Structure 1
Amino acid sequence: MTLYQAVADTKTSRLTTMDVVAVVAGSLLLTLSAKVQVPFYPVPMTMQTLVVIGLGLALGPVRGAAAVALYLAQGALGLPVFAGTPEKGIGLAYMMGPTGGYLAGYLPAALLAGWLGQRGWDRNVFTAMAAALLAGAVIYLPGLLWLGSVIGFDKPVLAFGLTPFIPGDIMKAVLAAIAFPAAWKWLSRKGMN
């Protein structure tokens, strides 16, 4: 059971209005997380990866991935949902740039986080931290491969596309490891799980 299922009190596999609302709200939250930059060393960070992982953990693999897919579709259509995009957005051109692989990695990350969340990994600090780190690592696989194909593998791809982001990703995993077990504990006090 996921947090969403505990709150929505749904154990059915049928699509409900609440599912649609959760998916749309998730895509909007992902858009908001892309627009907020947090000062951090060595590079400023957005909260996108935390939200992608959180959507998976909270909504489960199907709903979490659906929210991410909706977000990506909005961006592909030219809506200004991505980090650093202007008001009118630039659609597929942005997605074909250096960050395109990371965006593609959001889908398997949400699926993995959701799968782990369904198995209870989000209920204690240690497994929630592991789930967040594993799901976050999944984003780097297509991200680094795509970045290398765009800038050239003769460049230090890891130095550009991985190393500067590790401290921020660890911080985001810590936040997930605190937030999700706390949410489950709160729900258990309310008798909702």
Structure 2
Amino acid sequence: MTTPTTTLASRIWQVSGSWKKQALLVVLGSLFIAICAQINIPLPLVPITLQTFAVLAVGAAFGMRLGAATVALYVLEGTLGLPVFAEFRAGPAVLMGPTGGYLIGFVLAAALVGWFAERGFDRRVLTMFGVMMLGAAVLYIPGLLWLANFTGYDKVLELGLYPFLWGDLLKAALAAVAFPTAWSFLGKR
């Protein structure tokens, strides 16, 4: 096992040790996720959004703890009534609805991607692509298990996984190019 390294956020903005900077970063990250959630293609139960890209990118850029805290704040904001979820939805009913499992999976996926990024996996194209795909897979676990309550297990993959796979590949490819490029621009440490 390798030891943690610098994340993009700490390299760019020196957030380590500054709780005010970390708090601001968490709020700004949750806003970024909320904006990306509104870029969507509506489907019957679960829309296709840029939200998953934002969640995984925040995890990679912020690291395990700060990334998970950012996504948890986003979920809390939406649950408390701020219209931050896809299609400007909000409230506890969204968390209890078909997409609730994915929202919980977002926190787990951001933490996992952040853990790998802290260990330098975000600095190479192939490893970053793999980490993004692993993060996507992790968020599907609670997402699909919860969605099955609404679709039945016979339809859950058809409605909750298959329509999203091409987008996941594209988002992972985007991050796999963007993160190593950013590190190259900043100079690797």
TM-score (norm 2): 0.90
Cα distance in 1 for partners of 2:47, 2:101 equals 19
Cα distance in 2 for partners of 1:185, 1:46 equals 28
Q: Report the CA distance between 1:183 and its aligned residue.
A: 0.4
Q: Which residue of 2 aligns with 1:167?
A: 166
Counterpart residue identity of residue 158, structure 2? A
Counterpart residue identity of residue 21, structure 1? L
After superposition, the CA RMSD in angstroms is 1.8
Q: Which residue of 2 aligns with 1:79?
A: 82
Question: What are the residue-to-residue correspondences of 1:105-124 with 2, within 5 Å?
Answer: 105-124=105-124
Cα distance in 1 for partners of 2:149, 2:9 equals 38
Counterpart residue identity of residue 111, structure 2? L
Deviations along 1:83-140, whole A, 9 cap, x unmatched? 023xxx4400011111110111001100000000001000010001001000111010
Deviations along 1:28-69, whole A, 9 cap, x unmatched? 000000011369xxx973111111110111000111111101
Choose which of 14, 19, 25 in structure 2 pairs with 1:9.
14
Q: Report the CA distance between 1:145 and its aligned residue.
A: 0.2
Alignment coverage as a number of residue pairs: 181
- Runs of 4+ off more than 4 Å: none
Question: What are the residue-to-residue correspondences of 1:35-184 with 2, within 5 Å?
Answer: 35-37=38-40, 45-85=48-88, 89-153=89-153, 155-184=154-183
SS at 1:184 equivalent: helix
Deviations along 1:141-181, whole A, 9 cap, x unmatched? 0000000022322x311111101100000000000001000
- Unmatched tracts of structure 2, length 5 or more: 1-5
- Unmatched tracts of structure 1, length 5 or more: none
Checking the alignment, whether the CA contact within 8 Å between 2:116 and 2:131 is kept in structure 1 is yes
SS at 1:84 equivalent: helix
Cα distance in 2 for partners of 1:81, 1:163 equals 25
Structure 1 stretch displaced more, 89-98 or 165-174:
89-98
Choose which of 33, 58, 69 in structure 2 pairs with 1:30.
33
Cα distance in 2 for partners of 1:145, 1:79 equals 26
